[in-house]
Every structure is written in C-alpha cells, then in structure tokens.
Amino acid sequence: MRDPAPVTPARTVPADARATPEAARAVRDALRAAIGDPRLPPRPLDVPLHLALTADGPALLAPDVITAVLAAATRLAIRGDWVRLKICPADDCLWAFYDESRNRSRTWCSMRVCGNREKARSWRARTAGVHNSSPVDN
C-alpha cells in the first residue's frame, strides 16, 4: 500500500478553507468516536483540504490546527499505533492521550491530576460507610 500524500500546513489557505470551530469540532468528534471503538470505520469528515502539486510530489493543504491533528492521526493509523490513542475516563476531563506504556495499560491522561482525583473519589466512596458508622466517644 502506498503511503498517503503528506498532510502539511498551507502557507496561504483560501478564505473559504480556513478552520472554523465547526470543522475543529467535527475532527474532534470523529477522532473521539474512532478512539472509542477502533474497529469502527472512520466517519467521513467535511473538512476543507486542498491538493497541491509540489516539486516533492502531491501534498494536502489544510488549516494549521486541523492539519496537525489529521497528520498525527494519519501517522498513528499507518504505524498501527491507533490503539494507543486513548481518552481520559475522568468525567470532567476532555483530553486524549497517547499511551506509551509497554503493555498499553495507562488509564489517565495525567496520574498527578485526573488519576489522583479519581482514585481519591473512589476511596472516599468506598470508605464513607466505614467512617460514618463508627461510634463516637464522648
């Protein structure tokens, strides 16, 4: 299989092809859906991409932020590392992260922030009945 054309930032992007919040959300939602179940086929995206023929061959042009996200996702898919891209399970976190652990067991985007907070919540929930039912000495 041939490698796809590289996705590179456009130096000049036509006004109608500039990144919009809607386009960024579409990319985010499609990536989240694919990360949630990597066996699902990718959803089509309505993101403005332009093909440019350069001395180095064809290149896709897109707005800078979307280009970076699409390029990273494309590299992960080509290398077979897509399964290492995960979404933090913390209810109040929206981060996606790349799991670099040897056995792909990382759960949290940050153990210092989300992991610690969620483990503390879990411990408080488990021990709430134990602390409340103990007799009070007068």
* Predicted confidence (pLDDT) per residue in 74-114, tens digit: 778 778 888 888 888 888 887 888 899 999 899 999 999 99
* Cβ-contact 97, 88 below 8 angstroms: yes
Q: Which amino acid is at 30?
A: A
Cα 135 from Cα 124, distance rounded (Å):
19
Looking up tokens 């990319």 gives: 27
* Predicted confidence (pLDDT) per residue in 15-63, tens digit: 555 556 777 677 777 777 766 665 655 555 555 555 566 677 666 555 5
Cα 72 from Cα 68, distance rounded (Å):
6
Looking up tokens 């103990």 gives: 134
* Cβ-contact 47, 23 below 8 angstroms: yes
Cα 136 from Cα 78, distance rounded (Å):
62
**Domain ranges for the chain:** 1-87, 90-131
Q: Which amino acid is at 77?
A: A
CB atoms within 10 A of CB 135: 5
Residues 6+ apart with CB under 8 A from 134: none
